[in-house]
Homo-oligomer: A and B are copies of this chain.
Amino acid sequence: MSLIVVGTMAFDDIETPFGKSDKIIGGSATYVAYAASNFVQPIYQVSIVGNDFPQAEMDSLKKRGVALEGVEVVPDKKSFFWSGRYHMDMNTRDSLVTDLNVLADFNPIIPESYQNAEFLMLGNLMPKLQKSVIQQMKKRPKLIVLDTMNFWMDTAMDDLKEVLGMVDVLLINDSEARQLSNEFSLVKAAAKIQAMGPRYLIIKKGEHGALLFHENSVFVAPALPLEEVFDPTGAGDTFAGGFIGHIAKTKDVSFENMKTAIIVGSAMASFCVEKFGTQRLTEISKEDIDARLDAFVQLVNFDIDLVG
From residue A229, how far is it (CB to closest CB) to chain B in Å?
8
Q: Which residue of B lies closest to A254 (CB)?
A: B306
Q: Is the CB of B187 within 8 A of A225?
A: yes
Q: Is the CB of A307 within 8 A of B219?
A: no
From residue A287, how far is it (CB to closest CB) to chain B in Å?
13
From residue A250, how far is it (CB to closest CB) to chain B in Å?
6
Asked whether any CB of chain B lies closer than 8 Å to the CB of A146, the reply is no
Asked whether any CB of chain B lies closer than 8 Å to the CB of A205, the reply is yes
The size bracket of the interface on A is 35 or more
Q: With A and B bound together, what is the CA distance between A150 and B186 in angstroms?
A: 28
Show 20 A/B contacts (Cβ-Cβ < 8 Å), sorted by A.
A185-B227, A185-B228, A187-B225, A187-B227, A208-B209, A209-B209, A209-B222, A217-B298, A218-B225, A219-B298, A219-B302, A220-B299, A250-B306, A256-B303, A257-B306, A259-B301, A260-B302, A260-B303, A260-B304, A260-B306
Using A209-B220, A221-B300 as known contacts, list a sample of 12 further A-B pairs with CB atoms less than 8 Å apart, ordered by residue number in A: A205-B208, A218-B299, A219-B300, A219-B302, A246-B307, A250-B306, A257-B306, A259-B302, A260-B302, A260-B307, A262-B302, A263-B304
Q: Give the B-binding residues of A (Cβ under 8 A).
A: 88-89, 184-188, 205, 208-209, 211, 217-222, 225-229, 246, 249-250, 252, 256-257, 259-260, 262-264, 293-294, 296-304, 306-308
